[in-house]
Structure 1
């Protein structure tokens, strides 16, 4: 959650495409339990695949979908928005703006119910963390995570620099300093 890049993709929510993508990735999984977690406001306004059709595909493949609605009709939600880039540094920072984000609870509940999952509503970061803890408690299959780390080797340049400094006194013994009259 901490590494999510906001505004990295064009605006729009393609719930059906997201579920179809999850189904495609999980269809050959040998795991005891196949689970997808859909975090959205539930407003499907992009994509060519109907969300309920994609949910039917997930159901057929035995994929349980937990839906997490982000927002709410009962009040304002703090939404992180990037500030314009600083002209000197080029960096932009995140600020929170209160917005009314309606959630299509009916659609999200239908998807979860059809696939054997559950619907959750997150209105703030704390409730989102609690929801993920609850999903983790419900799903007992251990998850293996592969982490890829790109290392940059800095040892050789340091060794060559140190060797050069060590050899510098020997190289200077062959130099003679003479004064010109």
Structure 2
């Protein structure tokens, strides 16, 4: 209990130095008040010791304790209860545009590019507590998997369902970006962000990537672009086996980095290249740091004064000393 007590006026504790001075003063004063007489013999005198006379210093002790309580009361002991409330003052709306073409099943990232992306993106979504997030998937075409929402469980569940085969194969970067812009154009958020990920070059769709980037600029949307894939050759799906499964073969990783860099530069974002799982994780961590939601914290402090019981206790001791002085100890004072 005492560990939660603090003192508003601790400098009053210096007055406690008066207590030992008062004790010294009382000792000298008591000696002077005690009369003495020298006689040759005590024979013939009846010597008796009064119990009350021995308790006379109790009056001084009571007064001293009262003074100590008053000094502590002057120091204003109090408890402090701090409560806080946070208010998001600048929210961010984020749309993640994910390439789901067959090349995203390449095994240069483990277990493959798409699975590695889903794992990292899931962690990213969980950390964006105060933001709204939406999902767009694209390959030969594009569609909105989840509109922007603050319900992270909906977004995470939708992300788990993202797989190859949702759309015709291909890489329509312009379509994916345009669909993401469409989800954000009506947003009233202070900051609007698209995270566009692909592992190839634009080879499908009827909207050019530059056109989509122009739309992003018009609506004040920042685009972070990520090229995913190792340097050189990667084990990539190249055909189907008789049982319908993919047949893998080595294929050169082709990413239109110039295009992704240009989109990022023109919209105020940044371009990143993820060549392995760790790099991909670092990229999302970097974006997480760059796009911080401003949160205002309000702190409320409640003080509860504790000096009143000390004052009452001191007054009680003074009253007790007064009563004893004028009743039991009256003949000794």
Q: Decide: shared fold, TM above 0.5.
A: yes
Instruction: Kindly state the Cα deviation for residue 96 of structure 1 after the two structures are TM-superposed.
Output: 7.9
Which of 13, 27, 37 matches 2:185? 27
Distance of 1:69 and 1:136 partners within structure 2: 17
Match of 2:233 in 1: 76
Instruction: Report the TM-score, using the length of structure 2 for normalisation.
Output: 0.37
Match of 1:115 in 2: 267
Q: Relative contact order (alpha carbons < 8 A, sep ≥ 6): 1 or 2 greater?
A: 2
Contact 2:177–2:212 at 8 Å: present in 1 too? yes
Alignment of 1:39-118 (within 5 A): 39-72=197-230, 74-77=231-234, 79=236, 99-118=251-270
Instruction: Kindly state the Cα deviation for residue 128 of structure 1 after the two structures are TM-superposed.
Output: 1.4
Distance of 2:181 and 2:169 partners within structure 1: 23
Q: Deviations over 1:23-48 (max 9, x none)?
A: 11101112121000110124111110
Match of 2:95 in 1: none
Distance of 1:54 and 1:86 partners within structure 2: 39
Unaligned runs of 5+ in 2: 1-117, 120-159, 295-333
Q: Determine whether 1:125 maps to 2:277.
A: yes
Query: How many residues matched?
Result: 136
Unaligned runs of 5+ in 1: 143-181
Larger of the two Rg values belongs to structure? 2
Instruction: Report the TM-score, using the length of structure 1 for normalisation.
Output: 0.64
Distance of 1:127 and 1:99 partners within structure 2: 21
Distance of 2:210 and 2:277 partners within structure 1: 28
Distance of 1:79 and 1:130 partners within structure 2: 24
Aligned CA-pair RMSD:
2.8
Contact 1:78–1:97 at 8 Å: present in 2 too? yes
Q: Deviations over 1:75-116 (max 9, x none)?
A: 2345589x97989xxxx7x99865422111110001000100
